[in-house]
Chains A and B, each alone.
Chain A
Amino acid sequence: MNIKSDFPIFKNNPGLVYMDSTATSQKPSYVIEGIKQYLENYYSNIHRGSYDLSEKSELLYEESKKVIAKSIGASSWREIIYSFNSTYASNLFIYSLKRSNILKSGDKVLLSMVEHHANIVPWLILQEDLGIEIDYVGLNDDYSLNFDDLKKKLTPNVKLVSFTHVSNITGEIFDLKRVGKILDKQNERPLFLVDASQSIPHMKVDVKDLGCDAMFFTGHKVMADSGIGVLWGKEELLKKLKPIFSGGGAISWVKKDSFKEAGLPDKFEPGTPNLTGAVSLLRAFEYLENIGGYEKVLEIEKELNVEVIKKFSNIKGVKLIGGINPSSRVSVFSFVVEGIHSHDIADYLADNNICIRAGQHCAEPYMRELGLNHTCRMSLYIYNTLEDVNKFFEVLEKAIKILK
């Protein structure tokens, strides 16, 4: 199975070695054609269009949510809310908690040390607005979540725990099922929010298995178009939440001085949604199934991970920021080269048609904790091959010789 040939970007850019999939993934023809077909055959606005085309468009929009709901183990497609990306989805959820008075001054929110800014900054705003407290759970030396620290910080005023499933720096998979079980033992169970932005592209994620109350992720990292993000929440929680945005499509009725919000999920989706994005997400998940589902993704990535970890361990002066067990991580590899700025490495690789990312990767607090100003990050996905990995290390070694 030649998965790379499913992705036109590689045909149109011969020699391209794309290793920035944690930032965004490339798109297979199946998704690109799916978007084209939708725009050429079914495109029209959803919600109460009294014509066939609108009905078809609405059915596809719902079908997209049904496929997502099934994939993540949601009870109903009505628990799936479409937003624009992970950050918008997290903001939508977090500020709706505020508007619904679910959090108040003195309540504590627990985050992990590795969170992306999307799961830090909205809480910092709530800290300013409401006076909530924020605390961070640290990591073990092997980059896994420190459960002793979690238990220590799980004080009675912790009302919500929000963890990423996978670190966008280290690629480490956190044992969130264990977190869910620990939360079950609390007298008053805190809400459990999961940032699945970095796990959904790589592994099967089941919300019931994790024991979470809400979760968010983005489409563009899992081969869909940019501009479509997903917020999932348990129906009873979503029913209690008052949305921070509203307007057309999100209401049952409006009078001059009052309105009644619509039911789920419409009340969280005012205005015309990203219809094309929703279709692209549907096609992306269909494509994943077509190639053999998450099992196939794991199989491809495991082979790549083993090779990458072996090669990193053989290069002098290069430090891998992440664990070396290929089974407890996804294929995201941050590293620093002694004596060479990460941007110089990234530039040299770019000159050789290899795309990686250098910088702080939207996780400044964690970078500060690590005592690093910047890292290089190479991140692989299903279209990468061992040849890509070999070329990367060949050029990296040259870069080190020349730039040092």
Chain B
Amino acid sequence: MYNETIVFYSKTPPNKGILGDFDIEFWEKNRTCGDDLKVYLKINSDNTIANWSFEGDTAIITTACASIFGESIIGMKLEEVLTLDYDYIENLIGMPVSSRRKNASVLGLLTTRNAIHKYLGDNNLDTFDDLVK
């Protein structure tokens, strides 16, 4: 069904849980799937990601993609995270996601982008359409 990496991260996502110390949290839901995810971000003074975690009621692909994505952005500039979309997730996991699960695969990314918008106070709110072209 999925490759070994996906299965590993979905069963034992290392960054699942609530960060003891975070600056911003954000909740998103994939209404078509019923996936529900919250991210927690700790942000450095130079506007890079210091730490990231998530929790939620998520399917295999959502859990794995969120977890792998979260690990990959530690140290990344907030502005750079805001440029990432589905293609970034596909590169990370090394396989394309079926069209019916594309939104699920970017739920962690979408929630993180919106958490950053909230942190920056830029009044932007991204949607799945911004990430999955």
Instruction: State yes or no: do A and B come from one complex.
Output: yes
Given contacts A360-B31, A373-B34, A374-B34, contact A343 B101 (CB under 8 A): yes
Given contacts A341-B60, A343-B101, contact A373 B36 (CB under 8 A): yes
Q: In whole angstroms, what is the CA distance A359 to B104 when docked?
A: 12
Q: Which of B1-17 contact A (CB under 8 A)?
A: 1
A residues apposed to B, CB below 8 Å = 341-344, 347-348, 351, 358-360, 364, 367, 373-374, 402-403
Q: In whole angstroms, what is the CA distance A402 to B10 when docked?
A: 13
Indicate if B57 sits at the interface (CB-CB under 8 A).
Answer: yes
Q: In whole angstroms, what is the CA distance A400 to B86 when docked?
A: 29
Given contacts A343-B33, A343-B104, A359-B32, contact A373 B60 (CB under 8 A): no
B1 x A342 contact (CB < 8 A): no
Chain A residues with CB below 8 A from B59, complex form:
341-344, 347
Partner of A341, one of B1, B31, B58: B58
Q: In whole angstroms, what is the CA distance A403 to B1 when docked?
A: 10
Besides A341-B62, A360-B34, 17 other A-B contacts (C-beta < 8 A): A341-B59, A343-B33, A343-B34, A343-B62, A343-B104, A344-B59, A347-B61, A351-B1, A359-B34, A364-B31, A367-B34, A373-B34, A373-B35, A374-B35, A374-B57, A402-B1, A403-B60
B residues apposed to A, CB below 8 Å = 1, 31-36, 57-62, 101, 104
Partner of B33, one of A359, A364, A367: A359
Q: In whole angstroms, what is the CA distance A343 to B37 when docked?
A: 15
5 contacts between A and B (CB under 8 A): A341-B57, A341-B60, A342-B34, A343-B35, A373-B57
Interface residue SS majority, chain A: helix
Chain B residues with CB below 8 A from A359, complex form:
32-34
Chain B residues with CB below 8 A from A341, complex form:
35, 57-60, 62
Taking the closest CB of chain B, its distance from the CB of A352, in whole angstroms, is 10
Most chain B CB inside 10 Å of its own CB: which residue of A343, A351, A358, A367: A343
Q: In whole angstroms, what is the CA distance A374 to B29 when docked?
A: 12
Q: In whole angstroms, what is the CA distance A359 to B34 when docked?
A: 5
Write the chain B residue with the least CB distance to A360. B34
Write the chain A residue with the least CB distance to B29. A373
Q: Top 7 A-B pairs ranked by shortest CB distance?
A: A374-B34, A341-B59, A343-B59, A359-B34, A373-B34, A344-B60, A344-B59
Chain B residues with CB below 8 A from A364, complex form:
31
Write the chain A residue with the least CB distance to B10. A344
Q: In whole angstroms, what is the CA distance A344 to B11 when docked?
A: 13
Taking the closest CB of chain A, its distance from the CB of B84, in whole angstroms, is 23
Taking the closest CB of chain A, its distance from the CB of B98, in whole angstroms, is 8
Chain B residues with CB below 8 A from A342, complex form:
34, 59
Chain B residues with CB below 8 A from A358, complex form:
33-34
Chain B residues with CB below 8 A from A373, complex form:
34-36, 57
Taking the closest CB of chain A, its distance from the CB of B108, in whole angstroms, is 15
Taking the closest CB of chain A, its distance from the CB of B86, in whole angstroms, is 18
Chain A residues with CB below 8 A from B58, complex form:
341
Q: In whole angstroms, what is the CA distance A260 to B60 when docked?
A: 59
Q: In whole angstroms, what is the CA distance A347 to B10 when docked?
A: 15
Q: In whole angstroms, what is the CA distance A341 to B104 when docked?
A: 12
Most chain B CB inside 10 Å of its own CB: which residue of A341, A344, A358, A402: A341
Q: In whole angstroms, what is the CA distance A360 to B31 when docked?
A: 8
Chain B residues with CB below 8 A from A402, complex form:
1
Q: In whole angstroms, what is the CA distance A373 to B36 when docked?
A: 8
Chain A residues with CB below 8 A from B57, complex form:
341, 373-374
Chain A residues with CB below 8 A from B62, complex form:
341, 343
Taking the closest CB of chain A, its distance from the CB of B31, in whole angstroms, is 7
Taking the closest CB of chain B, its distance from the CB of A351, in whole angstroms, is 6
Chain A residues with CB below 8 A from B61, complex form:
343, 347
